[in-house]
Amino acid sequence: MLHRFIVALDLALAALVGLVGLGSFFARAAAARRRGGASASCDRRILYLGSGNMDQVGPRNGVNLFLKGESSDFDGFFSRVYNVSFPAGQRKVWHLTERHTLIDYDLPAAVAVRGLGLRALSVALREVAFLHWALRFALRQQVSVIEATNPYLQGLNAYLLARACRLPYAILITRDYDFDYRTIGKLAFPTVFPTRRREKLVERWVLGHADLVLADRGYYLRYALANGAPPARCRQTRVVVDEAYYTDPASRPPVREALGLARGKLLLHLGRLQADKLPGDVVRCLALVRARGLEAELAFAGDGELRPELERLAEELGVRPYVYFLGAQSLEVLPSLMSSAEAIVCAHMGYTLLEAALSGRPIVTYEYEWHPEIIEHGRTGVLVPFRDVGAMADWVVRLLSEPQLADRLGQAARAFVLERHQRAPVMADYQRFFRTVLQPASREC
């Protein structure tokens, strides 16, 4: 009985805070418009809305994500860049450069409210506090455009801020959220949207009203279109990775001995050890390869919640002595490690697909998601049917037995990426796409 009362009270208080908070949010925005704002100029400024916090994103992706990647100023196109993460679990500011600022925002008091069992109220308090702060910030900094890194909480906030400030907003699609839910039951923001149905309603609204929808691969563009994004407002960009991966593999220093890796035939897995990456399939692949008499070993370059489970799986399959868990590796190590492997074997790859292709080593992966956009089977790598570990092992055995074939596939993949994924034309694409939504004075600069 008490539990039901607390739940009812929680929902009622959250609804009250949400209604009052949103009402005052739009009233404040209207008052600011009546006072008048700065006219459009060449001083283009972008506000990125992301999740996590700088302590998490920085080590995983490096500062070049903000300086040179998809959350950058696009080679000087934007004069000021603000990357705001919420909910970040902290408040923190980092002036990365004179023109680029990282900001973590949250409401610490809401944590105490959540501790009382008032979860919905905690979410409402954090959201209202953030919207009011972000409104003041966007107006004060004279932001020109807002971009959200997902169509859920960040996308909804981008929509609300854009409407309040009379600004355009863009959505960047970087995941197949339907796949996450379908395969591992993962919601994008379960603390805010407790059911997939609610997430989908928000997603379709946000994508349907966005002024610009960006997808850095064809697979994600199709996802956006299937989930309500207007075709006329969708643009496909291309992935670029850190310049360290573009260096000549032959010039990269050796790292295997320093990492404690044997000199035998090394298979390398790249990426986080999470359920959506299906790393267990690669352990099973190693077991099949070794069962055929090949002295192969496997190294995981990356860490995550599945590591204990993978260690147990390797033990059960009798290959634990031949599996290395290297943890997250730095940018100084990764390019050399990739180039030193006999083959790169992964079930599901994101940006690591491009990084791996630039290593000049052959890639074996599933015919899934965006992989076919980079890997043409038999020419720039190997694609096997999704979850067909046996086929994956067959090809690993062949590549280990035919080094000339392995070299040819690896070099072809590198050549393809060098031709299609150079930084300068990709940055020019971003500039061209943003010009279509900026106000005329900024657009023509």
3-class DSSP state for residue 146?
strand
pLDDT at position 444: 55
Please report which confidence band the pLDDT of residue 7 belongs to, taking 50, 70 and 90 as the band edges: confident
Q: How far apart are CA 32 and CA 143, in angstroms?
A: 14
Phi and psi at residue 381, to the nearest 5°: 155, -165
Residue 381 clears pLDDT 90, i.e. is over it? yes
Clarify whether residues 180 and 274 are in a common domain. Answer: no
- Work out whether the CA dihedral 126, 129, 131, 137 comes out positive or negative: negative
Please report which confidence band the pLDDT of residue 10 belongs to, taking 50, 70 and 90 as the band edges: confident
pLDDT at position 372: 97
Gyration radius of the chain's alpha carbons = 24
User: Which tens digit of pLDDT belongs to each residue from 281-298?
Assistant: 999 999 999 999 999 999
pLDDT at position 14: 85
pLDDT at position 165: 95
pLDDT at position 18: 86
Buried/exposed code over 140-178 (b: 16+ C-beta within 10 A; e: otherwise): eebbbbbbbbbbbbbbbbbbbbbebbebbbbbbbbbbbe
Q: Is the peptide bond prior to 87 cis by the omega test (within 30 degrees of 0)?
A: yes
pLDDT at position 443: 53
User: Which tens digit of pLDDT belongs to each residue from 301-350?
Assistant: 999 999 999 999 999 999 999 999 999 998 899 999 999 999 999 999 99
How confident is the prediction for the chain on average, in pLDDT?
Answer: 91
Clarify whether residues 83 and 190 are in a common domain. Answer: yes
Is residue 27 included in any domain, yes or no?
no
Is residue 311 included in any domain, yes or no?
yes
Is residue 23 included in any domain, yes or no?
no
pLDDT at position 370: 95
Clarify whether residues 156 and 177 are in a common domain. Answer: yes
Residue 53 clears pLDDT 90, i.e. is over it? no
Task: Report how far apart, in Å, the C-alpha atoms of 432 and of each of 128, 201, 235 are.
Answer: 34, 30, 10
Clarify whether residues 81 and 51 are in a common domain. Answer: yes
Smallest CA-to-CA distance from 198 within 214, 183, 181 is with 181
pLDDT at position 179: 87
Please report which confidence band the pLDDT of residue 234 belongs to, taking 50, 70 and 90 as the band edges: very high
The CATH number of whichever domain residue 183 belongs to comes to 3.40.50.2000
Q: Considering the chain, what percentage of its residues have pLDDT values greater than 70?
A: 93
Mean pLDDT calculated for residue range 46-65: 74
Work out how many domains the chain is built from and give that number.
2
Clarify whether residues 192 and 63 are in a common domain. Answer: yes
pLDDT at position 63: 61
pLDDT at position 210: 98
Clarify whether residues 77 and 221 are in a common domain. Answer: yes
Q: In the numeric block, which tokens belong to residue 373?
A: 């956009």
Clarify whether residues 219 and 280 are in a common domain. Answer: no
pLDDT at position 441: 54
Q: How far apart are CA 342 and CA 253, in angstroms?
A: 16
Clarify whether residues 405 and 416 are in a common domain. Answer: yes
Residue 112 clears pLDDT 90, i.e. is over it? no
Is residue 11 included in any domain, yes or no?
no
pLDDT at position 62: 59
Asked whether the beta carbons of 337 and 256 are under 8 A apart, the reply is yes
Residues 6+ apart with CB under 8 A from 444: none
Is residue 5 included in any domain, yes or no?
no
Is residue 21 included in any domain, yes or no?
no
pLDDT at position 369: 92
- Residues facing 366 on adjacent strands: 384
Phi and psi at residue 365, to the nearest 5°: -155, 175
Clarify whether residues 306 and 213 are in a common domain. Answer: no
Could you list the residue range(s) of the whole structural domain that residue 273 is in?
243-420
pLDDT at position 42: 66
User: Which tens digit of pLDDT belongs to each residue from 67-88?
Assistant: 667 778 999 999 999 999 999 9
- Residues facing 234 on adjacent strands: 213
pLDDT at position 263: 76
Q: Which residue has the higher pLDDT, 250 or 57?
A: 250
Clarify whether residues 415 and 276 are in a common domain. Answer: yes
Is residue 173 included in any domain, yes or no?
yes
Is residue 156 included in any domain, yes or no?
yes
pLDDT at position 37: 53
pLDDT at position 201: 97
Min mean pLDDT across 73-87, 102-116, 177-191, 330-344 is at 102-116
Clarify whether residues 267 and 356 are in a common domain. Answer: yes
Q: Which residue has the higher pLDDT, 257 or 443?
A: 257
Most confident of 51-65, 137-151, 255-269, 428-442: 137-151
Mean pLDDT calculated for residue range 178-192: 89
Clarify whether residues 234 and 252 are in a common domain. Answer: no
